[in-house]
Structure 1
């Protein structure tokens, strides 16, 4: 039998373990390792180190949620693709906005041969999801340029903000699209497409108008609907593409060049 002093020493020792050690005290706790923080900035830096080619090839996937085995299979399939620069995750990384879910998916995605970038999904906004997302990845709205292309990532999860007119941030989006003096090809990436019921209906037409009037957006990319879809929904020259979920085992490979692009659907 342990003496009182031995038990006291044991309890003191246990108290020195961090929450990311052997104990998880609270599922809403946000405890991240250094290599799990600021992934957006880190991965953009990796992308910018890549050589710029005449044709840019990247992957659009999304809605990993609780489909961990399927997401692992996606990584194996994606790693077999040729000449891929990076992967875009179109949101719903998690299902319940729990930090451990984000960590599990990131652990899987780290096995990609390419950097990956994300946009926040509606499931990522529940619980402590926004805080975890911000700490693990970074800003909910951001952009970066690579060669002759500009990518804009925007939070379009209107329902989670009670359709209060703040989401998506159209002022920011308009400014980002205008800040393109070189008239680079622009790709807008979000989770909820504007023609979905979870997008604020009062903002749908203005959102589409902003993209069309920029003159540089030829395609815009989304997830959320768990099915492959595409179309020029507003007859304004902007083509919208929706990728399917990991649960239905599919993704898109997108090739872009100066005057055009091509989208291939892949099932794995």
Structure 2
């Protein structure tokens, strides 16, 4: 029988490797995430869009609704925590809209970290998917944690329409944004509520499909219920009637710039206040 012996230091390394592997196989909740692209969430981290819409609807709306538009948390966790403190100091806020780029690399752990910070808000928050959130397995993580990439809900005199506009991540194949879905949502507004489209990439940005830009902007301009539309992505404040067609395009800056908008809406009108903290 062949007798194979190993130096003591190699034996120690082997034992150490076995121990590390065994320990790493168990986390505090019994699951170790071997692959950063895995999509593993606890029950209280799933289906947050539906849960938060239910929370919003549980509070009777007033004639005037105030909400916050912010975005692009990415890796700026400290700045996001300061945002939560500033947002909590605002009065009469119904909810917060996160205009996308929740994560930087589309990793489930990034979504978890940001949700943990945002859970410190006194208000429910809703999201729209950003281009960074689609990287790697980000779309699956977003769907698991939040829900559908395109969705809508009504509150008071407003219909909010959240749509994926990250065309570049789909190779500008004509499918994003889904204009047929958007058209149907705008038409399905029998009470003529304020129609507020929320997305990450604005139509005049290079990451938006140029072949769809005109159709998208015209669709908004031709709907008398659309007065303004909300975005993130460009890491700067913008509040302008970009196409000179009656629709105001409002972009909130990134968390690293420490700013957001407070939007006030009423039947047929609105006001946008820029906040820096």
The answer to whether the aligner puts 1:239 opposite 2:248 as a matched pair is yes
8 Å contact kept, 1:20–1:32: no
Please list the CA deviations of residues 58-78 of structure 1 after superposition, one character each: whole Å capped at 9, or x if unmatched: 000000000000000000000
Structure 1 unaligned residues grouped into runs of 5+? 1-9
The answer to whether the aligner puts 1:29 opposite 2:60 as a matched pair is no
Q: CA–CA distance in 1 between the matches of 2:46 and 2:99?
A: 19
The answer to whether the aligner puts 1:118 opposite 2:127 as a matched pair is yes
Aligned position for 1:156: 165
Deviation at 1:236, TM superposition (A): 1.4
Aligned position for 1:7: none
Q: CA–CA distance in 1 between the matches of 2:68 and 2:131?
A: 21
Classify the secondary structure of the residue corresponding to 1:112: coil
Aligned position for 1:4: none
Moved more, 70-79 or 227-236: 227-236
Deviation at 1:260, TM superposition (A): 1.3
Highest CA radius of gyration, 1 or 2?
2
Pairwise CA RMSD? 1.8
CA 1:30 to 1:208, structure 2 compared with 1: closer, same or farther past 3 Å?
same
Q: CA–CA distance in 2 between the matches of 1:139 and 1:77?
A: 29
Deviation at 1:213, TM superposition (A): 1.4
Partner residue of 2:237 out of 219, 224, 228: 228
Q: After superposition, where does 1:146-185 map in structure 2 within 5 Å?
A: 146-185=155-194
The answer to whether the aligner puts 1:104 opposite 2:113 as a matched pair is yes
Partner residue of 2:65 out of 44, 52, 56: 56
Classify the secondary structure of the residue corresponding to 2:219: helix
Q: CA–CA distance in 1 between the matches of 2:126 and 2:90?
A: 18
8 Å contact kept, 1:43–1:116: yes
Aligned position for 1:196: 205
Aligned position for 1:186: 195
Q: CA–CA distance in 1 between the matches of 2:121 and 2:274?
A: 19
Q: CA–CA distance in 1 between the matches of 2:113 and 2:193?
A: 35
Calculate the TM-score normalised by the size of structure 1. Answer: 0.93
Deviation at 1:20, TM superposition (A): 5.5
Partner residue of 2:219 out of 193, 210, 215: 210
Partner residue of 1:78 out of 84, 87, 108: 87
Classify the secondary structure of the residue corresponding to 1:58: strand
Partner residue of 1:219 out of 212, 220, 228: 228
Q: Which runs of 4+ in 1 moved over 3 A?
A: 13-23
Deviation at 1:21, TM superposition (A): 4.4
8 Å contact kept, 1:219–1:238: yes
Q: How many pairs are equivalent?
A: 259
CA 1:174 to 1:20, structure 2 compared with 1: closer, same or farther past 3 Å?
farther
8 Å contact kept, 1:156–1:192: yes
8 Å contact kept, 2:100–2:199: yes
Deviation at 1:24, TM superposition (A): 2.7
Calculate the TM-score normalised by the size of structure 2. Answer: 0.90
Structure 2 unaligned residues grouped into runs of 5+? 1-18
Please list the CA deviations of residues 195-223 of structure 1 after superposition, one character each: whole Å capped at 9, or x if unmatched: 00100011000000111112111010000
Classify the secondary structure of the residue corresponding to 1:254: strand
Classify the secondary structure of the residue corresponding to 2:274: strand
